[in-house]
Amino acid sequence: MNNDLKVFDELESEVRSYCRSFPTIFTKAKGYKMWDVDNKEYLDFFSGAGALNYGHNDPNMKEKLIEYITHDGITHSLDMASTAKADFLNKLNDVILKPRDLEYKVMFPGPTGTNTVESALKLARKVTKRTEVVSFTNGFHGMTIGALSVTGNSFKRKGAGIPLHNAITMPYDNYIDENLDTLDYFERYLEDGGSGVEIPAAVILETVQGEGGLNTARFEWLKKLESICNRFDIFLIIDDVQAGVGRTGTFFSFEPAGIKPDVVCLSKSIGGYGLPFAITLIKPEHDIWAPGEHNGTFRGNNMAFVTATEALRYWEDPSFEEGIKKRADKITTFLDGLIEKYPEMNGYRKGRGIMQGISSDIEGFSEKVAELAFEQGLIMETAGADDEVFKLFPPINIEMEALEQGFKKIEAAVEAVAKEKELVTS
């Protein structure tokens, strides 16, 4: 095969998207590197939109996976009991939940982010016997109708082809300006019997909005939100599909806020190796599901159990978390420097942990940066309703040197766009 995208043009649906931004055919990957059919090497600062926090094809997980396959371990077993599943449950409990003083039952809702979100919404409605769910501006929770109803993006919403119901959008932290605490506004709606907004079954949110433009909720805002939820008996659902599993520096993104959500949605990197996998964590007192009330053929992806279990071993060593934070600081410093050096960009830094980027007010700036970076062999995504943010998403354990290598490519791209834009605007 040569590097010809014709087969995709002819046979794959028009809905394909990333292959348009990164127009080459990939064959191989390792850690933070990818190679295409022409053997060109790329630095991956995208990480499968958060599905590859440990990098590509981690050697430890790979070894376990091959061993498992070789010995004819169970591949598919619906939701029957398997040793691979038992191992995962124990490891998750021992390494992650117990040390964080979190008690959760684990649900396997089907192997994607939208599945875990749909399961969370169902459960919240079942427990509270209410119907409405509050989500926040620029939240993204998935593409099936239930999850799409609580997603902000109008382009995605229109794709539904039907009006989306049972959802109310409230302003995320800092949505308006500093004068308005958006939670005061939300609380006002809940208190006021004439507000037109009834007490919802649940509130669902990301602590850092991955697709919505790296908007970040302050810890005190999250804490206050939890107390409002407690006051009105509302389910607090944290969608940690993208921000979880170390992306922001801690295993769960909400740890520094000191909150304990009723439900946590995890997918993407929980599988470790990039295999389809998702779990829904449920406070034991809410686990009132009837058997099979939510199900799905691929709830039990045993290969993902194997790699997920291995992946969790990284968290046994406290230095792993520290390493993430070091990298995060490095990224912060780099981005702040960039903003200062290129005022033409009119940029400001957004996000936290290894989930940061720069939002540029110049139309098309960030998209152009990502495009030029790709030409130089770096894969990076944009985010936000107008793709106004370019987003650094390398593996959370990327070598420091590789990080710097990436920074150079990004700066080169920024410089080139800044110059060009200058010419245009002046």
Ranges within 261-300 binding a copy of itself (CB under 8 A): 267-268, 273-276, 280, 282, 287-298
Annotate 93-146 with DSSP letters as a single string: IIIIIGGGT---EEE---SSHHHHHHHHHHHHHHHH----EEEETT----SSHH
Applying CB under 8 A, among 45, 53, 96, 142 the residue interacting with a copy of itself is 142
CB-side neighbour CA atoms (13 Å) of 331: 32
Applying CB under 8 A, among 162, 319, 401, 424 the residue interacting with a copy of itself is 162
Partners of 265 in the β-ladder? 239, 280
Strand order in the sheet with 378-379: 33-36, 41-44, 378-379
Q: Please, which residue, 176 or 258, has the CB nearer to a copy of itself?
A: 176
- From the list 61-69, 229-237, 324-332, 352-360, the region that binds a copy of itself by CB under 8 A is 61-69
The continuous run of DSSP H or E covering 206 comes out as none
Q: Do 48 and 34 form a contact (C-beta atoms < 8 A)?
A: no
- From the list 64-72, 343-351, 357-365, 400-408, the region that binds a copy of itself by CB under 8 A is 64-72
Measured CA to CA, the distance from residue 391 to residue 411 in angstroms comes to 13
Measured CA to CA, the distance from residue 53 to residue 267 in angstroms comes to 12
Burial class (CB in 10 A: 0-12, 13-18, 19+), 326: middle
Site string for a copy of itself, 108-127 (x = CB under 8 A): x-xxxxxx--xx-xx-xxx-
| Rounded least distance, CB 418 to a copy of itself, Å | 26
In the range 18-47, which residues lie near a copy of itself by CB under 8 A? Answer: 18-20, 22-30, 34, 37
Q: Do 210 and 355 form a contact (C-beta atoms < 8 A)?
A: yes
In the range 166-205, which residues lie near a copy of itself by CB under 8 A? Answer: 166-167, 169, 171, 175-176, 179-180, 184-185, 188-189, 192-198, 201
Applying CB under 8 A, among 38, 40, 98, 159 the residue interacting with a copy of itself is 159
In the range 356-385, which residues lie near a copy of itself by CB under 8 A? Answer: 384-385
Q: Is 100 a residue that touches a copy of itself (CB under 8 A)?
A: no
Applying CB under 8 A, among 39, 101, 161, 423 the residue interacting with a copy of itself is 161
| Rounded least distance, CB 329 to a copy of itself, Å | 27
Applying CB under 8 A, among 32, 45, 51, 253 the residue interacting with a copy of itself is 51
| Rounded least distance, CB 182 to a copy of itself, Å | 10
Residue among 123, 226, 234 nearest 168 (CA): 234
> In degrees rounded to 5, what are phi and psi of residue 172?
-70, 170
| Rounded least distance, CB 220 to a copy of itself, Å | 19
Residue among 347, 396, 357 nearest 214 (CA): 357
Q: Please, which residue, 132 or 321, has the CB nearer to a copy of itself?
A: 132
Measured CA to CA, the distance from residue 339 to residue 359 in angstroms comes to 10
- From the list 165-173, 230-238, 311-319, 407-415, the region that binds a copy of itself by CB under 8 A is 165-173
CB atoms < 10 A from the CB of 61, how many?
A: 24
Q: Please, which residue, 30 or 325, has the CB nearer to a copy of itself?
A: 30
Residue among 320, 335, 307 nearest 395 (CA): 320
Partners of 224 in the β-ladder? none
| Rounded least distance, CB 143 to a copy of itself, Å | 5
| Rounded least distance, CB 350 to a copy of itself, Å | 14
- From the list 81-89, 253-261, 318-326, 417-425, the region that binds a copy of itself by CB under 8 A is 81-89
- From the list 3-11, 244-252, 346-354, 389-397, the region that binds a copy of itself by CB under 8 A is 3-11
Q: Is 318 a residue that touches a copy of itself (CB under 8 A)?
A: no
> In degrees rounded to 5, what are phi and psi of residue 167?
-140, 145
> In degrees rounded to 5, what are phi and psi of residue 179?
-75, -20
In the range 323-362, which residues lie near a copy of itself by CB under 8 A? Answer: none
| Rounded least distance, CB 111 to a copy of itself, Å | 5
- From the list 128-136, 343-351, 405-413, 418-426, the region that binds a copy of itself by CB under 8 A is 128-136
# of chain residues touching a copy of itself (CB under 8 A): 150
Residue written as token pair 């409002």: 228
Applying CB under 8 A, among 40, 66, 285, 348 the residue interacting with a copy of itself is 66
| Rounded least distance, CB 228 to a copy of itself, Å | 16
List all residues 6 or more positions away from 191 whose beta carbon is below 8 Å from its beta carbon: none
List all residues 6 or more positions away from 401 whose beta carbon is below 8 Å from its beta carbon: none
Partners of 167 in the β-ladder? 133
